[in-house]
Every structure is written in C-alpha cells, then in structure tokens.
Amino acid sequence: MKLNLSPGLLRVGITLFVSLIAVLPCLTAKSNSAAGVTARAQAIHDSALVIDTHADTPQRFVDDNFDLANTDPNDYGHISLDKARAGNLGAEFFSVWVDPATSAGHFAHRTLALIDSVYEQAERHPDRMMMAFSASDIERAHAQKKLAALMGIEGGHSIENDMRLLRDYYRLGVRYMTLTWSNTNEWADSSGDIDDPKIEHHNGLTDLGKQVVLEMNRLGMIVDVSHVADKTFWDAIATTKAPLIASHSCARALTNAPRNMTDDMLRAVAKNGGVVQVNFYNGFIDQKYRDASLAQQKQEQAAVDEFLQKRKAEGKPVTYSEVDRLERQWAAKIPRPPLSSLIDHIDYIAKVAGVDHVGLGSDFDGVAGATPLGLDSAADLPKITQALLDRGYSADNIHKILGGNSLRVLKEVERVSHQMQAQERESKVGK
C-alpha cells in the first residue's frame, strides 16, 4: 500500500523521525541504568572473553532432555544459549558430576552419559556453540561468536581408580578434574566428610593420588582442588608440575566454609600460578546465609530423604532436577544476599592472591537457585563487570577476572603437558 502525503505532513514526519533517532541513545542509556549496567561497563564486558569454569547443566541434559536453545521465559535454569549470549559468556566448563550415592557401582557409565550429553548439545546447535579442547579452541569459538563448550569432571571417583579411564576421559575432551567431590575416594580426602569418623581417610593424597595428579599434568588436564580436604590441597600443590585451579571456591576468611580457601591457600595458588574461580553460591559468599542454611539443614535433609524413600517405594527413579526443585524450595526460605557479597570475595582474593589469580566459577544450575540478588542467570554477568568497575578495577584487570586468568592457566597446563610428553619421548629414545 502506498501513502500520498502532503509536503507539510512529510516535513512533520521527518522532524519526528529525526527527534526519535536523537532520543534513542538516551532511552538505551536509561534502560542500561535500570539494569544497573552503564554503557561503559557494558562495553568493557562485551570486549572481554568471559570464561566460567563450572556449571552443572549436564544433569539437566540427561535427566530432563533440556535443550540449551530453550527459550521458555519461565525456565528456572541459569544457562541457555540465549542467556549466555546476553551475558557475553564465551566459554563454559560443563561439570560432569556423578552422584556417588545414586550411581554407586557404575560411576563411569554415568560419567560417559554426561559427557555425551554435552556433545549432543553442540551437535544440535553448531551455529551457536562448539566443542572446545584447548585454549586456541576457546579463542576460535569466541572469534566466531559461538559458545565454547568444555568439560570438567567433578569428583575423582569417576575414574574408578583406573588411570586408563582418566586417559579415556581426556581423549573424550575432559580438561579438568576435581580431585574429590564431597566424598572421600580411595586416593584423596574430601572436605565434605573429613570430620566423619565413619569414613576412612588417607591424610591427604595417597601414592595413587599423587600419580593421578602427575598423569593429569602429563595429559594436559587441569588439577582442580575445589571440594578437597585441606591436607589434600597441600599435597596437590606439592605434587603438581602445572598450575592448578579451584574451579568454584571462595575465601574462607569472609565465609567460614570448609569448601572455601584460607589465605595461605590463596597465596599458595598464586605462587603456583593458578587461579581461584569464585563460586556464586550464597552459602559460600555470605556468612549470614550460610548460618541460616545450616540451621535448617537437618529439616531439609529429612525432606529430601523422605522424598527419595517415597520414590524408591514406588519403584521410580529419582532425577537430579527433582531433588534440585525440592532444594530450591528450602533455599527460598532464606533471604538472598546482595551482589556485593560475591564481589567482596572476588575483591578479597584479588588482594590476597593478586588480580592474576582470581576468576569466575559460578556453579550455575548446581546451587538450587541460591545466587545473590540480581544474579539470576548467565544473562546477568555484566553486573559483575559493573560492580568491579565501581570498585576501581581497570578494564584490563576486569578482563583478567572475567576469563583472561583462566585462559592463561589452560595455556600453561598445555605447555607443561607438551614438555612432559617431549621428555618422555626423549627418555624412550635414549633407552
């Protein structure tokens, strides 16, 4: 349809259009302000390679057939392709976590199912994400504006005490392993049960545990010390030939949780060249929240146990997401702390260990929704940049925290691996 406008009306229309164009930047600025992110902070964030070292979304892939392309506005998850794009998330280490209680006797089977689920997502959405196995792969994905999908095993029980399985997992793309989850395994003590007299402990790493660390170094798999007992941490630091990480831990001086790092540990990680990636879980970043959570822990566990027993009596399997929804109900009973609680931990670690040794390890989709106010998904990551900018951090240092430090560690782990393998080859030739 064609409209016939008089010259007068045309001039009025042009004037209104020009006025609207002039006003749009102001409207955008107001919109960003309403979201708590200024244009400057957004520009810094958008120019960064953002790397998150821990998200538990694979449980949803396997148990709920969740698709990363999900656009349901009511979906409770922290991670989707749209949310990642909105938050400029460039690389995600998807956590391969096997529940030792529900998967006893078939840890490897569950591990492989979770690994496969990440590949399946990448195959479904090749235009928006890609599997990544190296630092250069992450950079390549970033250049193509795709989400780099990496994997980290959370809990050494997944290797079933078999070095061959460890090597197989590396071949399948696993690029870090947390030496323990909350359970002590046959070769490493966990912080989760270190005070339980019924559990047999090893005073840190056993000889096999030290061999696992060195084999990870040789392979190019990052050693992760989140979840480990304090003595296990110190044994790992003394054994490793490459930088290690704490993929999702915070500062114990601010929140007294055994999963968090002491100041001495933070300084040791810095000396090692590693990185502590800060966990977003309220119970690790805010002491008041932690105290309230501990106060209702027995009731919450009783509710979970009752649910598990009911499902068992009915002969029905229990999925991760079902338990997660129940835990969310309990988490919702406690007021969420402000975003500043998370920033306090980033700032503290930057001051104690140095700005080159802190990063992001959200624990998205693994904390029952218990993240600080305003940080509801990956889409809200720019708010961290704004908060760091408000505290006086430079753009360069913000880029380090957002992902530069984690990328550096991966590159150095790769370098050490190449060096160790070259020495191994020379040794064999010499024989």
- Give the HSE-up count for residue 174: Cα atoms under 13 Å, Cβ half-sphere: 28
Q: Which residues of the chain does CATH 3.20.20.140 include?
A: 37-287+337-430
- CB contact at 8 A, 37 and 381: no
Counting beta carbons within 10 angstroms of the beta carbon of residue 189, is it exposed (0 to 12), middle (13 to 18) or buried (19 or more)? Answer: buried
Look-up of token digits 């010499």 = 430
Distance of CA 395 to the CA centre of its chain: 22
> In the predicted model, is pLDDT for residue 22 greater than 60?
no
- CATH value of 37-287+337-430 in 3.20.20.140, 3.30.70.370, 3.40.50.10380, 3.30.1180.10: 3.20.20.140
Q: What is the value of pTM for the model shown?
A: 0.91
Residue 376: which of 388, 386, 362 has the closest Cα? Answer: 362
pLDDT in tens, 343-383: 999 999 999 999 999 999 999 999 999 999 999 999 999 99
> In the predicted model, is pLDDT for residue 12 greater than 70?
no
Instruction: Give the per-residue pLDDT at 431.
Output: 67
> In the predicted model, is pLDDT for residue 151 greater than 60?
yes
Distance CA 341, CA 283 (A): 11
How is 29-47 classified by DSSP, letter by letter?
A: HHHHHHTT--HHHHHHHHT
More confident residue, 397 or 101: 397
pLDDT in tens, 391-418: 999 999 999 999 999 999 999 999 999 9
> In the predicted model, is pLDDT for residue 218 greater than 80?
yes
How confident is residue 323, by pLDDT bands cut at 50, 70 and 90? Answer: confident
pLDDT in tens, 291-316: 999 999 999 999 999 998 998 899 98
Distance CA 138, CA 39 (A): 26
pLDDT in tens, 235-248: 999 999 999 999 99
CB neighbour list of residue 57: distance below 8 Å, 6 or more residues apart: 66, 68, 77, 78, 79, 94, 95, 364, 365
Instruction: Give the per-residue pLDDT at 210.
Output: 98
DSSP letter (8 states) at residue 230: H
Q: Which residues pair with 95 in a beta bridge?
A: 152
Sign of CA dihedral 338, 193, 223, 239: positive
